[in-house]
Chain A
């Protein structure tokens, strides 16, 4: 073996979590980067996808002493779970978009953030459906090895997520370059002018928002099959792996760092920002003890500083959107 299996499992974790974040970022990029719809409820659509997938693909778990049980346990195949997660998140996104997508960006942000928080309150408290804060453990991995093999397991997860993101990038590339994608960018630049050209901008915005939501749902599915455990609290604000608002803010940073309005930017942003977070966990043991406790907080403070500095000095991100000139 070229590298020892512990390192590979660790690096694999970094890769597939980054890819889950990259899919979230692609969804947000479709909504904000292309269409200009500022969604502050990313965590909410992520949550819907994750829970839908979890309900669909787990074996049934009856309630027992110390476990409230949860909805479903339909033991469906994993790809079916992915489709269901996308459909559920996309449908909810469309429902949310119907009344809110016409609103100004700030109203939209407040309404979507409120929506995500309400969802989280429900996920925490509706114990008979979501198992509450205990969460749903033992979610199936893409391939179950017998006997369990952590090395192969990590490899399969990396392969599945890498394949997924490549397919997504290809599809999204063609969508963004299509006439449909051009209308979205036109709406972002000048909605009234686009309307004047006879486009039903409301419909396009609805589609972009719903598709972005569906992508976030897909990220939820990937989260479920790779981390194999979900719970709704993300209790301390410092956790970014979960459904707390901090996830939403991290995705913003990823898209802004990478550069809004271009696909590579979202992926690069996700790998850079999550890499920074992953490294801070990896290097935790090297840090002096009095600093150790504070690392998650320090990291979120740096995220905050990055948000401010980037939005002031480099709003176009590392990879700026390609200027398109009509010929």
Chain B
């Protein structure tokens, strides 16, 4: 697998010049962040069954907690990350207790509305009570190691994000496969009633899932601040990217999230050379073409939503594939019109 990929990369580099490596590097860096965030988001999606629109802003909050420790308490960013990890776990449990547990069993829309409210409060709370300006973390100065001319390798920004990404993926795998809590989480995500019936304390599992989800948000937010700058909208700006990763991978599946994160991160960054090509006057003369790179993941997502709504990695429920296919087919053939509306029974009232 790795060999194939490296050969593929070498081929790309030979075809498009060495600069493609730079985009690949950026792609993997972004992927690591998106993967960590997407795992956190998909865990709550799986267990509580709603899309947490506040997730981006929870990432922002995590980054700012770490910034506070990093700047105001003048500690290393590692300490900031640890404090923020724990603080956000508490925030997650509080959110469930105060807000989302009250919306249980009311369908997907009320929790979405409430989560948008939470996001607005966090984002504008930082703007209002804290600062509207941009910040960067204080990290030790590192010189970039040149790999090839023009492409540097930054130990913390590049290697650090990869390592954190890999550590988080591995620990989630261990958690879900080898621990009781992880197994209980999977059971709850699969079927809440059945999990209850087998004696799983689903309340506790839900709290654990919130804690895990939000602390992953904090780490993803810190990584995001590390490769760029911190601003009150930093998290909200990437929330759709993370939703895209979750949907592409298949909602509720942490393993899917890893795959989705890779697809989304790489497709966004590696589309840059293509977009630069489109900018050439003899091609399309597209202005500011690289600004569109953030639209690429959505196009991937819409494609997945239309053709494989259960995700590229997920397996459709046994009957869904057939039903979905037939539905699509009848729609294409225009046969759905068979169920014409009866004219009678419409009037009166």
Assess whether A301 is in contact with B342, with CB atoms less than 8 Å apart.
Answer: no
Known: A179-B346, A304-B119. A202 touches B112 (CB 8 A): no
B341: Cβ under 8 A from any A Cβ:
yes
Q: How close is B228's CB to chain A, nearest CB, in angstroms?
A: 17
Q: Which B residues are CB-close (under 8 A) to A182?
A: 349
| One of B53, B295, B342 near A118 (C-beta < 8 A) | B295
Q: Which A residues are CB-close (under 8 A) to B244?
A: 114
Assess whether A106 is in contact with B50, with CB atoms less than 8 Å apart.
Answer: yes
| One of B107, B120, B327, B341 near A307 (C-beta < 8 A) | B120
Assess whether A308 is in contact with B99, with CB atoms less than 8 Å apart.
Answer: yes
B117: Cβ under 8 A from any A Cβ:
yes
Q: How close is A106's CB to chain B, nearest CB, in angstroms?
A: 4
Known: A38-B109, A109-B51, A305-B117. A237 touches B295 (CB 8 A): no
Q: How close is B3's CB to chain A, nearest CB, in angstroms?
A: 35
Assess whether B127 is in contact with A312, with CB atoms less than 8 Å apart.
Answer: no
Q: Which B residues are CB-close (under 8 A) to A199?
A: 339, 341
Docked pose: A294 CA to B114 CA in angstroms: 23
Q: Which B residues are CB-close (under 8 A) to A115?
A: 298
Assess whether B336 is in contact with A106, with CB atoms less than 8 Å apart.
Answer: no
| One of A38, A304, A315 near B117 (C-beta < 8 A) | A304
Docked pose: A312 CA to B103 CA in angstroms: 7
Docked pose: A229 CA to B327 CA in angstroms: 45
Determine the residue in chain A with the shortest Cβ distance to B126: A297
Determine the residue in chain A with the shortest Cβ distance to B346: A179
Q: Which A residues are CB-close (under 8 A) to B120?
A: 249, 300-301, 303-304, 307
B340: Cβ under 8 A from any A Cβ:
yes
Q: How close is A67's CB to chain B, nearest CB, in angstroms?
A: 14
Q: Which A residues are CB-close (under 8 A) to B232?
A: 237
B314: Cβ under 8 A from any A Cβ:
no
Interface flags for B227-258 (1: CB within 8 Å of A; 0: not) read 00000110010001001100100000000000
Determine the residue in chain A with the shortest Cβ distance to B236: A237
Docked pose: A294 CA to B125 CA in angstroms: 10
| One of A105, A122, A128 near B108 (C-beta < 8 A) | A105
| One of A109, A113, A303, A312 near B102 (C-beta < 8 A) | A312
Assess whether B116 is in contact with A238, with CB atoms less than 8 Å apart.
Answer: no
Assess whether A200 is in contact with B339, with CB atoms less than 8 Å apart.
Answer: yes
How many chain B residues touch A (CB < 8 A): the figure is 55
Interface flags for A239-280 (1: CB within 8 Å of B; 0: not) read 000000100010010001000000000000000000000000
Docked pose: A122 CA to B305 CA in angstroms: 22
Q: Which B residues are CB-close (under 8 A) to A300?
A: 120, 123-124
Q: How close is B37's CB to chain A, nearest CB, in angstroms?
A: 15
A287: Cβ under 8 A from any B Cβ:
no
Interface residues of A in 285-318 (CB under 8 A from B): 294, 297-298, 300-301, 303-308, 311-312, 315
Assess whether A125 is in contact with B108, with CB atoms less than 8 Å apart.
Answer: no
Assess whether B113 is in contact with A99, with CB atoms less than 8 Å apart.
Answer: no
B11: Cβ under 8 A from any A Cβ:
no
Known: A297-B124, A308-B99. A121 touches B294 (CB 8 A): yes
Interface flags for B204-216 (1: CB within 8 Å of A; 0: not) read 0000000000000
Q: How close is A282's CB to chain B, nearest CB, in angstroms?
A: 20
Interface centre among A100, A195, A245 (most CB of B within 10 A): A245
Assess whether B341 is in contact with A301, with CB atoms less than 8 Å apart.
Answer: no
Determine the residue in chain A with the shortest Cβ distance to B347: A179
Interface residues of A in 92-151 (CB under 8 A from B): 99-100, 102-107, 109-111, 113-115, 117-118, 121-122, 124-128
Known: A304-B117, A306-B117, A308-B117. A111 touches B302 (CB 8 A): yes
3 interchain residue pairs of minimum CB distance: A304-B120, A307-B117, A297-B128
Name 15 extra pairs, CB < 8 A, besides A182-B349, A308-B114.
A106-B50, A106-B112, A110-B240, A114-B243, A118-B295, A122-B292, A179-B349, A198-B341, A238-B127, A245-B236, A303-B117, A304-B121, A305-B117, A311-B114, A315-B110
Can you name 17 A-B pairs with beta carbons within 8 Å? A105-B107, A107-B247, A111-B305, A121-B291, A126-B287, A127-B288, A128-B287, A179-B346, A198-B339, A249-B116, A252-B116, A300-B123, A300-B124, A304-B117, A304-B119, A307-B116, A311-B114
